[in-house]
Structure 1
Amino acid sequence: MAPSEGTDVFEDLRAEGEALHALVADLDDEQWSLPTPAPGWTVADQIGHLASTDEMAILAARDPGAFLAAVPAVVEALANGLEGSMSGRRDAEKGVELLDRWRAGREGVIAALRGHPPGTRFPWFGPPMSPAGIATGRLMEAWAHGGDVADALGVRREPTARVRHIVRLGVNARDHAFATHGLPAPEDPFRVELVGPDGAAWDFGPPNAPQKVSGPGYDFALLATRRVHRQDTALTAEGRDADRWLDIAQAYVGAPGEGRAPGARRT
């Protein structure tokens, strides 16, 4: 079964948000200011970023015109790091206020995206996306930034099958990863054979494809969100292009960033 079949991404998005909320609900001011593995980002910055992007997702669904008008300023703010963006809100929002804003956004995203007819598309950063597609991206962000928070707090998260959605994003974004690095897309399809945390087989591509990636699905999700160095995974590749892909895999739109150094895996 493919990772997305028979699953409800909206319920998994809710569960991922609740799991991260449990990590940060009782933090004190000092803990909110702890640095995370993302350079320049504190725990508060991570949660503030999730709150802001959830609000953008709600805007895209509720008022597409207003979303499109807001995109240039958001892209510019993100391109400039935290300057004039999250740092200002971080200083103004602490603890309960930040949690309340983030909780409202999490609930609002699901309410805004659920229940639309097939074929619905909303504007997003990049091409328009389906409601489930935006929800999958929100889940990916909650999980990836939640991992940064867990690392900052010294907490090890238990892997869950919710990463199947992130795995699917990473596999589907293969050609985008090559393009982001200025490389031509591979001509041949890949076979991807991964194992979920629950032991389920997550397979993609033709069984007889000449190039293949295999290993733990959780490792692939970490790699595709640039939260681990390839050397710190149990993933293997057969074929030159498949091997190159594991160096550059990326499930999200935008610059890849520096990624993580070898030996830095904590999540």
Structure 2
Amino acid sequence: MTPDRVAALCAERDLLLETCHSLTDRQWATPSRAEGWSVQDMVAHMGAGCRAIFTVDALKILRSNDIEKSNDMLVDQRRRRTPAQVLGEYERWSRRLIRLARVVDAGPLARIRLPLAELGRFPVNLVLCSAMTFDHYTHLRHDIAPALGLPPPPSEANTVAVVLEWMLAVLANQLKAAVHPWLEAPLRINLTGPGGGSWTVQPDGAVTTQPGAAAAEITASALEFPEWSTRRVDWRQRDVTVSGDTGYGERFLDAVNIV
């Protein structure tokens, strides 16, 4: 079943706005869990990302060979702004992004593939909806909330499914682009809980939902996957188990670093 991508993005926008509208000036200035970025910088990043879709900045990001550096530059441009200005930009442009996403996700443009910096090529609807949902989801739960001592907001199954859709698409591109001579047999990734599922990683880097024999099986929580697969924590610090050829599975886990 295909997840509702626009609904997921709307839900994450609502959660971020709910959090931001309650922040004090001191909380806005608090260092986030992303090195070098405050909570305000994190929201500025998301606002800049939404606005970029409608400006020439989109071309800079799409053609970049270092998406992290491009993101840093956009945040640097906003460092003199007040929290109200940063939040205003985010609120205004995220609303416009959702309007665009509704049109694109339901229409013939959805499957057109676009390059996204060094991450590879993706259908337009994944870039507009799934990538932006992933950005909101991970930054709010793993960079902003813990920095402020706040509990992470709830994670709806549909949202988690959209986040995983994007992450596994990026993982497939990363595996195809890199040379991993040791990746010589299929692996199975089982992500349990709301929004989870099972995927097979092929030796050529393809990631599919097709079942089949696998040299190793990795089982983990769908809710924890975004944290350790982006290297915010080591996978060994979370509930991750490997069966079958454990050495092979662990080598794969050590190589995973989804941007």
- On whether the aligned pair clears a TM of 0.5, the verdict is yes
Structure 1 residues 80, 207: CA separation in 2 closer, same or farther (over 3 Å shift)?
closer
Spell out, residue by residue over 1:58-87, the C-alpha distance to the aligned partner (whole angstroms, 9 max, x if none).
Answer: 44xxx7xx733x3489767942884x5424
Shift of 1:250: 2.9
The answer for the alignment partner of 1:124 in structure 2 is: 116
Contact 1:225 1:251 (C-alpha < 8 Å) held by counterparts: yes
Match of 1:265 in 2: none
Equivalents in 1 of 2:149, 2:48: separation in Å? 25
- Secondary structure of the residue that 1:91 maps to in structure 2? coil
Q: Secondary structure at the match of 1:49?
A: helix
Going from structure 1 to structure 2, the CA distance change for 1:164 and 1:184 (only over 3 Å counts) comes to farther
Residue number in structure 2 paired with 1:99: 87
Post-superposition shift, 1:40? 0.9
Partner of 1:217: 222
Runs of 4+ residues deviating >4 angstroms = 72-78, 175-182
2:239 counterpart of 1:241: no
- Any idea what the Cα deviations from partners look like across 1:158-214, whole Å, max 9, x if unmatched? 333222222233334445455787634723222121212x3x651223243222111
Q: Look up the equivalent residue of 1:39 and give its one-letter code.
A: E
Q: How far 1:220 moved relative to its partner?
A: 1.3
Of 14, 18, 30, 1:18 maps to 14
Superposed CA RMSD in Å reads 2.9
Task: Give me the whole-angstrom Cα distance separating, in 1, the residues matched to 2:43 and 2:217.
Answer: 36
- Residue in structure 1 matching 2:156, options 153, 160, 169: 160
Q: Do 1:195 and 1:202's aligned partners in 2 also have CA atoms closer than 8 Å?
A: yes
Q: Using CA pairs under 8 Å that are at least 6 residues apart, name the structure with larger relative contact order, 1 or 2.
A: 1
- Among 160, 165, 169, which residue is 2:166 paired with? 169
Three-state SS of the structure 1 residue aligned to 2:197 is: strand
CA-CA distance at 1:56 after TM superposition: 2.2
| 1:77-156 matched pairs, under 5 angstroms | 78-79=68-69, 82=72, 85-92=74-81, 94-115=82-103, 116-117=107-108, 118-126=110-118, 127-134=120-127, 135-147=129-141, 148-156=143-151
Q: Which secondary structure does the structure 2 equivalent of 1:48 belong to?
A: helix
How many residue pairs were aligned? 238
Give the Cα separation in 2 of the matches to 1:51 and 1:172: 24
Q: Match of 2:147, as an amino acid?
A: A
CA shift in 2, pair 1:77/1:249, >3 Å: closer
Cα gap change, 1:174/1:241 in structure 2, threshold over 3 Å: closer, same or farther? farther
State, as a whole percentage, how many aligned pairs show the same letter: 21
In the alignment, which residue of structure 2 is the partner of 1:67?
A: 58
1:57 to 44, 50, 53: 53
Distance in 2 of aligned mates of 1:202 and 1:195: 6
Give the Cα separation in 2 of the matches to 1:73 and 1:173.
Answer: 16
Cα 1:58–1:213 shift into 2, 3 Å: farther
Q: Does 1:34 align with 2:30?
A: yes
Cα 1:73–1:136 change in 2 (3 A) is: closer
